[in-house]
Amino acid sequence: MRNLKKILAGLILCSCLLASLPVYAAEPDQSDHEYVNAGPGVVQAEGEDTTSGMCLGTFTITGYCNCESCSGGHNLTYSGTVPKANHTISADLNLFPIGTKLLIDGVVYTVEDMGSSVNGNKIDIYYDTHEEALAAGTYSAQVFRWD
Ligand SMILES: [Zn+2]
């Protein structure tokens, strides 16, 4: 059930993907107003303003904790912080440097950690307990930049 809810949440959040394509057809009134007001210059402004909230695509989300099997006994993250639930995530640092904020399932996480198996479109979310990390399982979710 929990996974289903998360998938549903992801689909709702994913409206950014859908909206980027059929927004004209879906909501002609609203988009007309915005585009008329913004004019041609909006394209350049978007470069900066839409960085936050930008849909980065579908990622494979896994969970981990600071136990021996998840983190090999490391108590601190790669960046030296104390990992916190609903805050700390592990990501591919080539894509998301330490400190990058990402929105996943309505929670803004901060990249503070890395993992040998966390590469590309993978995010490892920190949980306080191994049970929670296991319960979260592996699922797909839309990830958004949140700087
Ligand atoms: Zn663990």
Structural domain total, the chain:
1
Indicate whether 7 pLDDT > 50.
no
pLDDT, tens only, 13-47: 444 454 444 444 444 444 444 444 444 544 444 44
Question: Ligand 1: distance of its center to the CA of 15 in Å?
Answer: 33
In order of 41, 113, 144, the CA distances from 110 in angstroms are: 32, 9, 12
- What pLDDT is recorded for position 142? 97
In order of 51, 52, 55, 75, 140, the CA distances from 46 in angstroms are: 8, 10, 13, 40, 27
CATH of the domain at 77: 2.40.40.10
The residue range of the domain holding 33 is: 1-147
Question: Ligand 1: distance of its center to the CA of 75 in Å?
Answer: 11
- What pLDDT is recorded for position 74? 87
Question: Ligand 1: distance of its center to the CA of 86 in Å?
Answer: 15
pLDDT, tens only, 90-137: 999 999 999 999 999 999 999 999 999 999 999 999 999 999 999 999
Over residues 66-82, mean pLDDT: 94
